[in-house]
Structure 1
Amino acid sequence: MLRVWFVALAHSSLGQFMQNSRWGFASVEAVHLLAIALLGGAVLILDLRLMGVILTRESPRVLNRDLSRLLLGSLAVLLLTGIALVSEEALKCYYNAAFRWKMALLAAAVLFYFTLYRRVVLTLGSSATVLSRVTAAVSLFLWLGVGVAGRAIGLI
């Protein structure tokens, strides 16, 4: 059933544009990589703060508020450009184990961010706790996993 969606994406106007455009894939990939850098930077800053490594005088809640637009905006750009990139070689992605891992880790990272992670950020006081350190480590593991699996898509 899921394969039907990938076939439809490959044959969509977007898929046809991405497959036939001289600069489409490269341009979209450049934007995708820029969004990865922005998201990764925001996540790294927040996670290092939760670990008590940097910006220890800053409130995690205020830091999260300040970085949330960047984080959520870059995540939205990543999702949109990711769909465009997948449309270029949708069936290859469908059968690619690394792509499936990336999607699973991305879903886990987003779910984690909107549940436990945000709860910890919003309730943490001025000093790091065991819970905040573990939360940050899980976050880093998930987001790093998304990146590694994404890189592996082209290798598998």
Structure 2
Amino acid sequence: MEWLAPLGDSFVARALIRSPTLYIFANASHILSLGMLLGASVILDLRLLGAFARLPLNDTAIVLSRVAAVALACAVVTGALLFSVRPVEYAGNTAFLIKILLVLFATANALAVKRSRGWHTMTQGAPVTAPLRFSALASLFLWLGALLAGRWIGFL
């Protein structure tokens, strides 16, 4: 993992290391992004599984999927900033690697759902299909697993 060491010497990494305030803002932005991502994803997944039946499914799905997408993009950017501070250490951290793997699987699941026929018909008023419900359940486990793995990083 030594090939990542130059990243830790980059201008961005040095600025984050030298400025506790800048690092705190990057960290807080990452946490805010994760909160938005998980909040939107969990509510959407639960709605697809039948909870919150009073919420209109198609409108809720469209809005929350967009919020989750923007939040994911922000989380990736802020996560990359935080990673740059200690890239070799993080790349060797089992919890970090599990988190990244779970985020990749959760993102792939979300993209597959968004491109699925079940999603398109559901947003047009059709009922939620069994495969869409299964994807929602998988999403819950993947995103919550990524959150737990992320919290675990500091303990390894």
| Matching of residue 103 in structure 1 with residue 113 in structure 2 | no
Contact 1:14–1:87 (CA under 8 A) maintained in structure 2: yes
Q: How far does the alpha carbon of each residue in 1:10-46 deviate from its partner, in whole angstroms, 9 at most, with x for none?
A: 1111111112212222111111111111111110121
Give the equivalent residue in structure 1 for 2:85: 88
Matching of residue 59 in structure 1 with residue 57 in structure 2? yes
Matched, 1:134 2:134: yes
Deviation at 1:129, TM superposition (A): 4.2
Counterpart position of 1:152: 152
Q: Percent identity?
A: 32
Give the TM-score of the pair, scaled to structure 2: 0.88
RMSD: 1.9
Q: Which residue of 1 aligns with 2:72?
A: 75
Unmatched runs of 5 consecutive residues or more in structure 2: none
| Letter of the structure 2 residue corresponding to residue 20 of structure 1 | R
Gaps of 5+ in 1: none
Amino acid in structure 2 at the alignment position of 1:96: N
In the aligned structure 2, how far is the partner of 1:102 from the partner of 1:109?
10
CA distance in 1, matches of 2:20, 2:31: 19
> Structure 1 residue 8: deviation in Å?
2.4
Residue number among 15, 32, 42 corresponding to 1:34 in the alignment: 32
TM-score after normalising by structure 1? 0.88
* Distance (whole Å) between structure 1 residues aligned to residue 154 and residue 54 of structure 2: 39
Q: What does the per-residue CA deviation read over 1:38-69, in whole Å, with 9 as the maximum and x for residues that have no partner?
A: 11111012101110111355133x32222233
